[in-house]
Structure 1
Amino acid sequence: MSSRAALNEKIRDCSKSQIQSLIEESQSKLASFDSQIAALIEQREQERVSLTALRSVIAPVWAIPVELLVEIFRCAIAVEYAFTIRDYAPTLRLSQVCAHWREVAHATPQLWSGRVDITNHIPSKLSVSAYAEGLRSWLAHSAPLLIPISITPESDRRLSTCDWKDILPILEEVLEISTRWRSFEILNPIALRDLPAAFVQRLPGYAMDNLEELSLDEQSLTPFTLCFGKTPRLRIVSLARNIRVPLSWSRITNLTLSEPPGFILRLLPHCNDLVYANFSVYGELTPAHAGVALQLKHLRTLSLYFYGNEPDTSWPFVSFLDRFNVPGLEHLRLSLQNVLAWSEPRFTSFQSKTPNITQFELQCSEITSTELAAVLSHAPLLRSLRLKDCLRCLDHTFTDSLHYREGITPWVPRLEAFNLSCDPVSENLAVFETSLLDMIASRWWANEAMDTLSSPPAVARWAHLYIGPPRHHYGETFMNEVQKLKDSGLTIHVYNPQP
């Protein structure tokens, strides 16, 4: 008999009130069953929690020594990861896994010592005060380590932003640890004048005992002065155009500036310890600065970028270069945008005073192959040559100047690497490609060939060569020969997109 038939048999002689009693009885049973099921589900979940805890107790991760766990954390977190309140910050997520990991993370300042990046974007779910409180906690966990500090705008315009004056409480948290600043940078395109006046005015009152690097990347249309507190360890300085910072220049070893030549020449006599100098030079060198001589005996790298609005044939860049007495110079980088004049005698004179140059880079120059050959003939220690966007020098004269022939004293005998990012100027490109290959082959010996030489060659063997990206498309024969050189062990790359 079906359950439906059994029910009909049961209630055949029942009154309506009796049926209502049966309904209430059934509802009571269902409620009892639901209660028992809920209790069982709760017991099941409790048992699952207990099972997970028991498994966790014997999990291999708990046997990892704290020191090793810290190293695992450091590998999982990018060293330079910037401070952020957002919930995907790796450090915050690691510290929320369990009480043990949180204890380890909070006791490891290295995990919190990444760059602190202050932006004008505050997540919509946070107030400025909450953001400042989170930053204060972050900085406390990183103590006593030094911290890189940067101020930069939010690059994603879809995100909500606020005025810089509204984030003063956040900037004040950074000021409170000024003695722990390792570096401080303000990145383009923030206008320094947009920073809260209260922050700018308080900067000189805070000691920055451990500040090593200062970078102010926002150029100003008019001179703007920004003062800092004591910076006894400051060594690396990068200032955009028209930014003025009173500093103890005699201690600076690494300097980047974008200024007129006169300003640079007036400043450099105070920079006796410079090792690295990178200057973007705007404007002309006036006669008043022509006699300024710079004694920079520690300088090893000099990068000069000359800019002009229109091509200028009257202003020789060597008038500026002449001022430098840098006998220890090893790396020279020149970019001559719209500077057409090249004075071979004066540059040769400069080379005679800088005999230790091992790297030479030339960009956007109108130098001819003959003038370049003269440069190479006075660079006996040169190891690396880089030419980029030099439109008049890549021809047979250039390749011939580097071609090694036994019995003839070679130029640049120590040259082992070049980067040629220029188009050849030869009218007969096939002839140029052949001369380029011959020059490369003249300074290359595979390992087996080196072993058979009765004496070492008079020139260094190539270590690394790069050619491109040109507008010129190198032919199939050229590329086949390059592949043979690769197969013999030479590290050479030719950027040669299909025409």
Structure 2
Amino acid sequence: MAPFSVRAIVLEQTERTRQSSKADIERFIVESELKVISLESQITSEPQSTALVELRDRERSTIAALRYLIAPIYSIPIELLVEIFELAIREDSEEVLLYIKDTFLISHVCSDWRRVAHCTPRLWTGHIHVNPGCRDSEQVYAHGLKAWLARSAPLPVSISLSGTGTSRLSPRILEEVLEISPRWRSLRLQSQSPSSLARRIAACNLDSLEELDLGTIYETPSDLDSGSILVFSPAARFRKVSMAIDSDSPHVSMPWAQLTHLALHYRSSIIHDILGQCPNLVSVSIRTPGSPLLPEARRDTPFALNHLQTLSLVFSESAEPFMPFLDCLSAPALQKLCLDFGQVPTEVESEWTEARFTTFQLRSPNINQLELTHSYLTSEDLWAALRHAPRITHLKLVGCDLCFDDTLIDALHYKDGIEPLVPRLHNLVLEKMGKSIFAPDNFVDMIVSRWWTDAQLASYSTPPPVARWTSVKLGETFNLNRPSNERFVRSIEDLRRNGLDIQT
């Protein structure tokens, strides 16, 4: 090992060349190279001289330090270097460890890069996952977390907490996260969490909080003495909330009126009460396991969500709340409607009525995207729904075997002079429709009837009165290996060659 510090030499040469030009430093390098040649000649004559070897190695280190000082990467502005760092850091939401690894790697290349990285907070603000239930190397984990969070100050950060449902949470790790609550941009609890933790979060300073995902909140015996109301402090930037709370959990109070995005998973009738306090919602996702969504006394109490653009409803055990919910909802700006019938039993199929759904559609005339999942609707039901939604541009059916057949395909088929169903439709997705009964040839004829190449469209004096497909995805709809589907396969290939984005 050399008896000198390479870092010390770099600092020494940095100070030496502080007022020097690039040409001066290049001259210093030549001088040092000549010294190395001279020393190597002397070492040849005196091979046992340790002092000469050390002098030569030190001079070589000096040359390396000088070359480093005039390297292009060293001379570029710090602002540009930071931009390069940001481009080198992978921010894949599914691979959080890559982001952490890349950030640490950049900060360990050299002392200068480390200084720049540590003084650039935005390099340390990527989404991180924290495990407050970590029991291995708890002190080391907490120390590293503290250092990471300190480097991101004063900027907002996004944090996910995992393992919060374990019986033992590390007070030190949890405190490191809670201490920077004024800088939370988003906070997500990734598992079931006791209401005691939710109460600690609710009591924090949430000045920067925009998104909150509480996961599933549950009461423990020790939580029962804390009261039945979970009150969140005011947060001016609060806009997005997601939470799952059962009927035994505490009532939640938060600034509902300022929310724009809300996702609820409730086994409770208070969803109606919550939505009534959220007039500014743009997106709503509701999942209910089957208890009545609206008490009988409230089903005639309408509520308006005048800014709502996306509505997603999932009923996994009973469709009973389905139509009553839509009956009392007014959403004139609604554009995207997603209905997931989940594991709805067949005995509740009669809950769907065309008249009631049509009434809802008349109050929501701007729907242009419709998604149905595991629906028991027939093709007649879907035809009626589409007939009252002429603005539809995107249609997605997943596992809806009964609602897509030759009758509906014929209604979608464009024939000259006859406007088909949903003339603006240009994006079609059919997934898990293997039990649907219709003729592949009939389907492909319908697709062809609504497709034109660029050259064909340019040759028309007036464009066709229907939209041209932009994307068709068929999923597992067809068994393309069947001999009877040969014409269909050839037609699909022809459409692809002509420019249609069609996936099978």
Cα deviation digits, residues 315-362 of structure 1 (max 9, x gap)? 372122111111110000000123333312211221111110010000
Tell me what 2:242 maps to. 238
CA displacement, residues 12-66 of structure 1 (integer Å, 9 cap, x when unaligned): xxxxxxxxxxxxxxxxxxxxx9992654554453343223213212222112221
- C-alpha change, 1:225 and 1:75, in structure 2 (3 Å) is farther
Q: What is the rounded CA distance, in whole Å, between the counterparts of 1:449 and 1:265 in structure 2?
A: 52
Q: Counterpart of 1:468 in 2: which secondary structure?
A: coil
- Which residue matches 2:17? none
Deviates more, 1:387-396 or 1:240-249: 240-249
CA–CA distance in 2 between the matches of 1:250 and 1:87? 35
For the residue of structure 2 that corresponds to 1:278, the secondary structure is strand
Return the match for 2:402 from 392, 396, 399.
Answer: 392
Structure 1 residue 82: Cα displacement: 11
Give how far 1:186 is off: 0.6
Q: CA separation in 2, counterparts of 1:87 and 1:38?
A: 46
Looking at structure 2, the residues matched to 477 and 445 of structure 1 have their Cα atoms a distance apart, in angstroms, of: 19
Q: CA deviation at 1:92?
A: 2.7
- Residue 484 (structure 1) shift: 0.3
Query: Any residues of structure 2 matched to 1:242-257 within 5 Å, and which?
Result: 242=246, 244-257=251-264
Match of 1:49 among 58, 61, 74: 61
CA contact (8 A) 1:482 1:492 kept: yes
Give the Cα separation in 2 of the matches to 1:438 and 1:210. 54
1:299 corresponds to = 308
Contact 1:318-1:347 within 8 A present in 2 as well? yes
| Partners of 1:399 and 1:365 in 2: CA distance | 18
Match of 1:144 in 2: 154
Distance 2:503 2:374 in 1: 22
1:68 counterpart residue number: 80
Aligned-residue CA RMSD in angstroms? 3.1
- Residue 411 of structure 1 is matched in structure 2 by 421
Partner of 1:177: 180
Cα distance between partner residues in 2 of 1:109 and 1:266: 41
TM (norm. structure 2) is 0.80
Q: How far 1:398 moved relative to its partner?
A: 1.4
**Whole-Å separation in 2 of the counterparts to 1:360 and 1:83:** 32
Secondary structure at the aligned position of 2:270 is classed as: helix
1:15-414 matched pairs, under 5 angstroms = 36=48, 38-39=50-51, 41-79=53-91, 89-120=101-132, 122=134, 124=136, 126-128=137-139, 130-153=140-163, 164-165=168-169, 167-188=170-191, 190-192=192-194, 202-220=200-218, 226-242=230-246, 244-260=251-267, 262-282=269-289, 283-285=291-293, 286-308=295-317, 315=320, 317-339=322-344, 340-341=349-350, 342-414=352-424
Structure 2 vs 1, CA of residues 225 and 91 (structure 1 numbering), >3 Å: closer, same or farther? farther
Classify the secondary structure of the residue corresponding to 2:276.
helix
Deviation at 1:120, TM superposition (A): 4.0
Cα distance in 1 for residues equivalent to 2:149 and 2:436? 61
Residue 10 (structure 2) aligns with: none
Deviates more, 1:72-81 or 1:332-341: 72-81
Going from structure 1 to structure 2, the CA distance change for 1:471 and 1:382 (only over 3 Å counts) comes to closer
State the SS of the aligned residue for 1:245. Answer: strand
Tell whether the 8 Å contact from 1:178 to 1:206 is kept in structure 2 after alignment. Answer: yes
2:179 maps to amino acid: E
C-alpha distance in 2 between matches for 1:80 and 1:113: 14
CA distance in 2, matches of 1:460, 1:433: 22
Displacement after TM superposition at 1:435 (Å): 0.9
Moved more, 45-54 or 222-231: 222-231
Corresponding position: 1:442 with 2:440 = no
Distance, in Å, in 1 between the alignment partners of 2:478 and 2:447 is: 21
CA-CA distance at 1:219 after TM superposition: 5.0
C-alpha contact (below 8 Å) 1:83/1:117 kept by paired residues = no
CA-to-partner distance for each residue in 1:90-135, whole Å, 9 max, x for gaps? 32332232221122112211111122422146585x442x433333
Identity of aligned residues (%): 39
Distance 1:41 1:249, change over 3 A: same
Cα distance in 1 for residues equivalent to 2:452 and 2:47? 87
CA shift digits 1:270-327 (9 cap, x unpaired):
111111000002223442332121111111100000111xxx68x3721221111111
Aligned pair count?
441
What residue number does 1:23 align with?
none
Q: Within 1, Cα distance between the matches of 2:422 and 2:375?
A: 21
C-alpha contact 2:132 2:173 (8 A) present in aligned 1: no
Q: Structure 1 225/51 Cα, relative in aligned 2: closer, same or farther at 3 Å?
A: farther
**Alignment CA distance shift 1:256-1:69 (3 Å):** same
Q: TM-score, with normalisation over the residues of structure 1?
A: 0.81
Amino acid in structure 2 at the alignment position of 1:436: F
For the residues of structure 2 that align with 1:265 and 1:371, how far apart are their CA atoms? 27
- State the AA in 2 paired with 1:177: I
Change (3 A) 1:319 1:81: closer
Cross-structure match for 1:15: none
Structure 1 residue 471, shift from structure 2 partner? 6.6
When Rg is computed on C-alpha atoms for both structures, the one with the higher figure is 1
1:472-493: per-residue Cα shift (whole Å, max 9, x none)?
A: 4462221110000111111111
1:87 deviation in Å? 13
